[in-house]
Structure 1
Amino acid sequence: MKKLFLSGLLALLGTGAFAQTSAGTISLGGSLGLYSGSMDENTSERKTSSYSISPYVGYFIKDGLEIGINTRLSFNSSTTETEGSGQEFKTKSFGYGIGPHITKYISVTDKLYFTANGGFGLSGLRTKNPELDEELISTTSGYYIAASPGLTYFATTKLGFSASIGNIGYVSFTSTDKQAQPERETNSSNFDFNFSPATATLGIRYFITR
């Protein structure tokens, strides 16, 4: 997939990208994230696979500075196996988020730009047990403030490809244990510094210039 992506960038040679980041330009697009991995947790092992899609729309309020609305939908499945027991516990999760963002474009070459992205918004997560008629295990809702670095390559005057990994931010959320009797809520907040492969995304953008 990486080779195909890079081949596409090299094949789609176009003119300079200045018009694409000038005031008045509208950008439409989205990004995709994929992850699969495992983690040892004391006497158990957790295997996780996930993917996310993030459509968005943006508007350049001045040259090199974009504001817009970003949304995110994520899907996650995990299997936890306790050592020596042969037992597995499976979960499936659906997450969502929406909020405004701001992006600063800094020229590296006439086609390649470094991007500094920042935003905040609301998010939520629903976790179910797929082996018990999709029984709801827990729900989570809260808000986030985050910043992340990235790169955008302008392949043509209308088309750009983006890549990003990592984020720095603050999250605050409330989790509800739906299996407890009575239901139990837990409030949490923390600063997050995460540059793991699970945060990597690839995206495509279409620019409508004046």
Structure 2
Amino acid sequence: MKKLLLAGAVALFGLSNAQMTKGDWVISGNTGLGFNNTTTTVKVGSQSADGPKTNIFSVSPSAGYFVIDGLAVGIDLGYMSTTTKYEGNKTTNSTFSAMPTATYYFMNSSKLVPFLGAGIGYASNKTKVNITNGGTIFDPLLMQDEVTTDGLAWKVKGGVTYMATPSLGINLGVSYDQFSNKETIMNTDVKTNVKTFGVNVGFSYFIKAKAQKGDK
């Protein structure tokens, strides 16, 4: 009887990792909790200024394929939106990103599965500005109500997935994203660097690979 109970317990815990093996798929969707912190630094010519820190909303759907046990390679999509008011000025900012990523799940006998991941790709950042205070280093940009910039983006992420069922996991993690762009406006070099650190929650759905002929 003891051996039977032990075998049943091992099988139960093993189910949590049964769908993180080579050939399986994972589909995830994470959402920012609302206290993500963004710091923006803009350099115009030789002058620079730090923008305000602000809360943002974010959503990050992703899909991955397990190339080996525990390692999923795929793509992360991201969307962030925020409205910031600072010294009488109002800025509405939205960013879309697409990044090939790799995520490693540290499989074990528990239902809590830690993970780490990283990715690099493309991002497009759109900013709408309504400036009521003039006389700043941003004066060369005052004529533009809306500015769109494209550039390089990369991210790192980590956390833990709780396997509520053999197929459904609940994610709790942190992530750090960075977007960089450099362009010339009115013969002046303008560099934009957006850094985002956030705490995220979401779900992951693991899809077991179809059994091949001859598998038992």
TM over 0.5: yes
In structure 2, how many angstroms separate the alpha carbons of the residues matched to 1:79 and 1:170? 22
CA 1:24–1:203 in structure 2 vs 1: closer, same or farther (change >3 Å)? same
Secondary structure of 1:24's match? coil
CA 1:18–1:67 in structure 2 vs 1: closer, same or farther (change >3 Å)? same
Answer whether contact 1:48 1:79 (CA < 8 A) is retained: no
Query: Whose strand proportion is higher, 1 or 2?
Result: 1
Residue 34 of structure 1 deviates from its aligned partner by 3.5
Residue 137 of structure 1 deviates from its aligned partner by 4.0
In structure 1, how many angstroms separate the alpha carbons of the residues matched to 2:101 and 2:38? 32
CA 1:156–1:130 in structure 2 vs 1: closer, same or farther (change >3 Å)? farther
Q: Name the % identity.
A: 27
Match of 1:122 in 2: 122
Match of 1:73 in 2: 79
Match of 1:142 in 2: 151
Q: How many residues align?
A: 176
Match of 2:64 in 1: 58
The structure number with the bigger radius of gyration is: 2
In structure 2, how many angstroms separate the alpha carbons of the residues matched to 1:48 and 1:103? 28
Residue 185 of structure 1 deviates from its aligned partner by 4.7
Higher relative contact order (CA 8 A, sep 6+): 2
Match of 1:5 in 2: none
Match of 1:201 in 2: 200
Secondary structure of 1:32's match? strand
Q: 1:186 aligns with which of 151, 171, 190?
A: 190
In structure 2, how many angstroms separate the alpha carbons of the residues matched to 1:172 and 1:129? 19
Answering whether residue 55 of structure 2 is matched by residue 32 of structure 1, we say no
- For structure 2, the 5+ residue unaligned runs are 1-11, 40-49, 133-143, 210-216
Residue 130 of structure 1 deviates from its aligned partner by 5.9
In structure 2, how many angstroms separate the alpha carbons of the residues matched to 1:146 and 1:153? 22
- For structure 1, the 5+ residue unaligned runs are 1-12, 82-87
TM-score by length of 2: 0.68
Residue 144 of structure 1 deviates from its aligned partner by 2.4
Task: State the one-letter code of the partner of 2:152.
Answer: Y
TM-score by length of 1: 0.70
Answer whether contact 1:117 1:150 (CA < 8 A) is retained: no
In structure 2, how many angstroms separate the alpha carbons of the residues matched to 1:57 and 1:72? 12
Residue 14 of structure 1 deviates from its aligned partner by 8.2
* Residue pairs, 1:135-174, within 5 angstroms: 136-167=145-176, 171-174=179-182
Question: Could you give the per-residue CA deviations for residues 96-155 of structure 1, whole angstroms, max 9, x where no partner exists?
Answer: 1001110111135521111110111101211103689xx634333211233222111111
CA 1:90–1:109 in structure 2 vs 1: closer, same or farther (change >3 Å)? farther
